[in-house]
């Protein structure tokens, strides 16, 4: 290529490429969403369909399911690129890898994190969560799922070269998800009980900015390690 791309062009180009790939592979990317719904369906079956019990634990269930769904989808961030060699092209490009990583993670979030926003209100309603808590639930999903993608990207980058990366990935990533789970679930729970939630939301935002600024560098370092 004789013409050089600027950094923002490269970012957008990569973002568009990943989104296009996702649109062509719709079925594969719908799986985590389906998984999310399925896991939540299991809880009433296991615990009994007492309305007050379900309403009480709905925020926790929804967030645990979101965590698991995010983890299930993580592998797709770098897997196919690693297999077909485009990851090496990304690493060899003249642009800073951390920024390109951020493009890939953003695409992943748009494809797997954002759809949860569409399904979560429906599931919250089915579990009988009070409707005052719905905006807070959506807000925590909005802020929390990008953090899951960003942290998860580090784990995927570390394990993408391994044959049995999947199980190790969950061991690496789930402990790091604990803070997001705590703050997101407690914000939603507080909202359901009619309390103030701004403290939790601010903490989540702080995690989001921290992970946006730090995680791409760690991911880039891990990708260089995996590709070498």
Partner 1 sequence: MFLWFHKFGSPPHFYRIAGKWIPWLSSIFLVLLVAGLYGGLIEAPPDYQQGESYRIIFVHVPAAWMSLFIYVVMAFCGAIVIIWHMKLAEVVLISSASIGASFTFLALVTGSLWGKPMWGTYWVWDARLTSELILLFLYLGVIALHNAVEDKRTAARATSILAIVGVVNIPIIHYSVEWWNTLHQGPTVTKFDAPSIDVRMLIPLLLMAIAFKLFYAVVVLMRARCEILQRERNTQWVREVAGES
Question: 142-161 mask for partner 1 (x: CB under 8 A)?
Answer: ------------x---xx-x
Asked if 214 touches partner 1 (CB under 8 A), the answer is yes
145 vs 159, beta carbon nearer partner 1: 159
Question: 91-130 mask for partner 1 (x: CB under 8 A)?
Answer: ----------------------------------------
Among 86, 110, 179, 205, binds partner 1 (CB under 8 A): 179
Residue 173 backbone phi and psi in degrees, to 5: -95, -40
Asked if 193 touches partner 1 (CB under 8 A), the answer is no
Residue 185 backbone phi and psi in degrees, to 5: -65, -40
Residue 142 burial (10 A CB sphere; 0-12, 13-18, 19+)? middle
Asked if 207 touches partner 1 (CB under 8 A), the answer is yes
162: left (phi over 0), alpha (psi -120 to 50) or beta: beta
DSSP 103-118: HHHHHHIIIIIHHHHH
Asked if 165 touches partner 1 (CB under 8 A), the answer is yes
- CB 91, CB 227: distance < 8 Å: yes
Among 47, 122, 168, 193, binds partner 1 (CB under 8 A): 168
C-alpha 180, offset from chain centre: 11
Q: How far is the CB of 54 from partner 1 (least distance, A)?
A: 19
The number of residues that bind partner 1 (CB under 8 A) is 27
22 vs 203, beta carbon nearer partner 1: 203
CA pair distance 225, 221, nearest whole angstrom: 6
Residue 8 burial (10 A CB sphere; 0-12, 13-18, 19+)? exposed
Q: How far is the CB of 194 from partner 1 (least distance, A)?
A: 15
Q: Is the dihedral of CA 180, 151, 99, 106 positive or negative?
A: negative
Spatial CA neighbour of 35 closest among 66, 75, 77: 66
99 vs 182, beta carbon nearer partner 1: 182
Asked if 183 touches partner 1 (CB under 8 A), the answer is yes
Asked if 186 touches partner 1 (CB under 8 A), the answer is yes
Of 32-40, 109-117, 137-145, 180-188, the segment contacting partner 1 by CB under 8 A is 180-188
CA pair distance 228, 222, nearest whole angstrom: 10
Binding site for partner 1 (CB under 8 A): 154, 158-159, 161-162, 164-165, 168, 171-172, 174-176, 178-179, 182-183, 186, 203, 207, 214, 218, 221-222, 225-226, 228
């Amino acid at each position: 290529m004789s013409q050089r791309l600027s950094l923002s062009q490269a970012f957008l180009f990569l973002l568009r490429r990943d989104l296009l790939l996702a649109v062509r592979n719709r079925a594969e990317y719908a799986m985590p969403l389906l998984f999310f719904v399925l896991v939540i369906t299991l809880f009433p079956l296991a615990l009994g369909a007492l309305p007050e019990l379900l309403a009480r634990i709905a925020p926790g269930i929804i967030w645990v399911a979101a965590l698991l769904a995010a983890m299930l989808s993580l592998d797709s961030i770098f897997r196919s690129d690693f297999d077909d060699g485009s990851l090496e092209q990304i690493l060899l490009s003249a642009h800073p890898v951390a920024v390109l990583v951020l493009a890939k993670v953003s695409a992943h979030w748009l494809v797997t994190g954002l759809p949860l926003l569409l399904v979560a209100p429906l599931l919250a309603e089915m579990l009988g969560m009070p409707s005052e808590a719905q905006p807070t639930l959506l807000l925590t999903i909005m802020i929390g799922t990008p953090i899951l993608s960003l942290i998860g990207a580090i784990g995927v980058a570390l394990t993408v070269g391994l044959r049995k990366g999947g199980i190790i990935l969950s061991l690496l990533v789930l402990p790091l998800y604990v803070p997001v789970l705590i703050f997101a679930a407690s914000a939603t729970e507080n909202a359901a009980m009619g309390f103030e939630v701004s403290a939790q939301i601010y903490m989540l935002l702080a995690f989001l900015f921290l992970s946006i600024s730090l995680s791409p560098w760690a991911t880039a370092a891990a990708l260089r390690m995996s590709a070498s």
